Amino acid sequence: MWRVTKGMKALDLSFDLILSSPFVRARRTAEIVAESFHLPKKLEFSQNLVPDGNAKELIEEIKLQHGKSKKILLVGHEPYLSQLVSLLISGDSSIAITLKKAGLCKLSVDVLKYGQCATLEWLITPGQLRRVQ
């Protein structure tokens, strides 16, 4: 994961908030990113990012509790995150978008809502991130 964070830095990514599933693997990934980006106070956990999380509740949580954050990194589990991305870019959670473990995608959102509200800017695999220097 440390090599992936180097790629993230090379892409000049920045975050106002890191919101993670509290489950061990996601939590550890989020902690590594927070440490690498010097953001330990910006790391929070949400039950709505667990594998059987509720996308509607996650979106409401982000709007109500983190509405001022413009650059949010979500750390969670598959296939839930891919389904969430599909929902936000198409309105349908079954569209074939697949994130790999430690992969990233960037969405642009004007007004966050449940359903189609986002544009996919890019999708990158962990292997690609490790090669970015």
Neighbours of 36 (CB within 10 A): 15
Provide the CA 13 distance to its chain's centre, in angstroms.
Answer: 12
Of 1.20.1250.20, 3.40.50.300, 3.40.50.1240, 3.40.50.620, the CATH number of 2-127 is 3.40.50.1240
Q: For the segment 11-51, what is each residue's pLDDT rounded down to a tens digit?
A: 999 999 999 999 999 999 999 999 999 999 999 999 999 99
- Burial class of residue 112 in the structure, from the number of CB atoms within 10 Å of its CB (0-12 exposed, 13-18 middle, 19+ buried): middle
- Sorted by where each begins, the domain ranges of the chain are 2-127
Q: What is the pTM of this model?
A: 0.93
Q: For the segment 41-94, what is each residue's pLDDT rounded down to a tens digit?
A: 999 999 999 999 999 999 999 999 999 999 999 999 999 999 999 999 999 998
